[in-house]
Chain A
Amino acid sequence: MSGDEEAVYRRVLRRETHASRAAAAITVAVVLVVLCAAAGASAVWFLVDATARDRVFAAVSGFDVRARTAPVVAVVGGVVMLLGLWLLLLGVLPGRRARHGRTAGRLAVVTDDGVAADVIADTVAGALAVARDLVHVSVGHRSAVVTITPVSGVAVDEAAARRAASDATSRLGRPLAPRIAVASRGVVA
């Protein structure tokens, strides 16, 4: 793989595994457009229509009273503050998506965590010879938790399960350390 291609793949994989924040940016933009349009329209209306002017003055006459009332200011300020904090976090946090990217020879491969979980669960269920429905896997960024619901009266071979899970993760090309958990309540086969 040439250096150019490597750089392109690195960029593509980073973009595919991180949120674009498009939805949040569009929402913010649309809300601000509506507010701006309202402000601009009311300013023009205010200029050309005398009755509108009177109505605006009637509406704002209570403003200074409201601005002096601490609870109102606190509640409005608190809501605006939380909204701002949330937007700031959206802007700063990496926004990792539930996917994992790697290069595999000629290709760049992105695997959804759900697909990885399915593969691990299939492998473990096959190795232990239990029904696929009895193996539940949740995959995170660096972890995979395999929960096995035992059949009543049959011991679960945890070492075999761990081996199968490690085998599946290495085939997926993911550096995950699988953790095996056995549910405390079994089911009747």
Chain B
Amino acid sequence: MNGTNRALNRAVLIVVGCVALAAGLAGVGSAALPAGAAVRDGVATTASRFFDWLPTWQAHLEGLGWGAVPWVLLLVPVAALVLIVLLCLVVAAQGRGRTRDVLRERSAGDDVPGLLAVDVNIASAVIGDTLDGRPDCVGATVSAYRLRGATGGAAMKVTITPRRGADVGRLVDEAARAVGEWDELLGRRLPVLVHLTRGSWSGLRRPSRVT
């Protein structure tokens, strides 16, 4: 439900995957195919020529001849820095969007200018506590996320862990009723996602018969 940029994640994986796949294929191909020996020789020769060429700059470096620094080596740290910044942006794009405000809007009245914010705790008290008190429900939590295209720019997620043996259909009906009450209280219709989950320790919990 968070704002993770999934297209970006997949683009990163596809690009890095393609580069690694191509490099690996080239390596395996040059080792397996008869013509590969020549390719490997070519690469090795180029590499050793490059390494032979580098020390010729060494003389210029003595006495800090910065004008004669091999540009290739200056390019490496710069490229590395740019790439590091881009990758940090990728990591920073993960998992954002969780918010404390279910609703946040400028008040419509001209005479009383101001900002109206409704905290998720209130929604939790109305929806979560109603469900939490039921014997067929192990737990219910309410969280809010910023969401494009939603009324007020936010959506709510109600995570319900039913007790084993519970009538899940009735639990969902109960959630719908609680959300209806919340709609009336708020005066808006926010998108609501109900997530029925098993919880991490469900196997150890006592099943109960609810009639």
Q: Is A47 an interface residue (CB 8 A)?
A: yes
Interface range, A side: 35 or more
CB pair A24–B192 under 8 Å, yes or no, is no
Over the window 91-132 of chain A, the binary record of Cβ atoms lying under 8 Å from chain B Cβ atoms (1 yes, 0 no) is 110000000000011111111101100110010000000001
B interface residues, tally (CB under 8 Å)? 85
Give the interface centre of B20, B37, B40, B202 by most chain A CB atoms within 10 Å: B20
Which of B41, B47, B87, B88 is in CB contact (< 8 Å) with A63? B47
Query: Which residues of B have CB within 8 Å of A85?
Result: 17, 21
Least distance between A99 CB and chain B CB atoms (Å): 8
Q: Which of A65, A90, A92, A122 contacts B164 (CB 8 A)?
A: A122
- Please encode chain A, from 21 to 39, with 1 for each CB lying within 8 Å of some chain B CB and 0 for all others: 1101110111011001101
Q: Is the C-beta of A187 less than 8 angstroms from some C-beta in chain B? A: no
Set of chain A residues within 8 Å of B164, measured between Cβ atoms: 118, 122
Asked if A64 and B47 make an inter-chain contact with CB atoms under 8 angstroms apart, the answer reads: yes
Contact A63 B44 (CB under 8 A): yes
| A65 to B44 CA separation, bound complex (whole angstroms) | 7
B16 sits at the interface (CB 8 A): yes
Contacting A at CB under 8 A, from B72-91, are: 73-74, 76-77, 79-81, 83-84, 87-88, 90-91
* Interface window among B3-11, B99-107, B108-116, B117-125: B3-11
Can you name 11 A-B pairs with beta carbons within 8 Å? A33-B84, A36-B83, A37-B80, A40-B84, A43-B76, A84-B17, A90-B13, A91-B11, A110-B195, A114-B197, A118-B202
CB within 8 A of A60: which of B51, B180, B194, B195?
A: B51
The answer to the question of B186 belonging to the interface, with a C-beta cut-off of 8 Å to chain A, is: no
Alpha-carbon distance between A118 and B161 when the two chains are bound, in angstroms? 12
Q: What is the minimal beta-carbon distance from A154 to any residue of chain B, in angstroms?
A: 22
Neighbour of A64 across the interface among B1, B44, B55, CB < 8 A: B44
Which residues in chain A, 21-77, are within 8 Å of chain B measured between CB atoms?
21-22, 24-26, 28-30, 32-33, 36-37, 39-41, 43-44, 46-47, 50, 53, 57, 60-61, 63-65, 67-68, 70-71, 73-74, 76-77
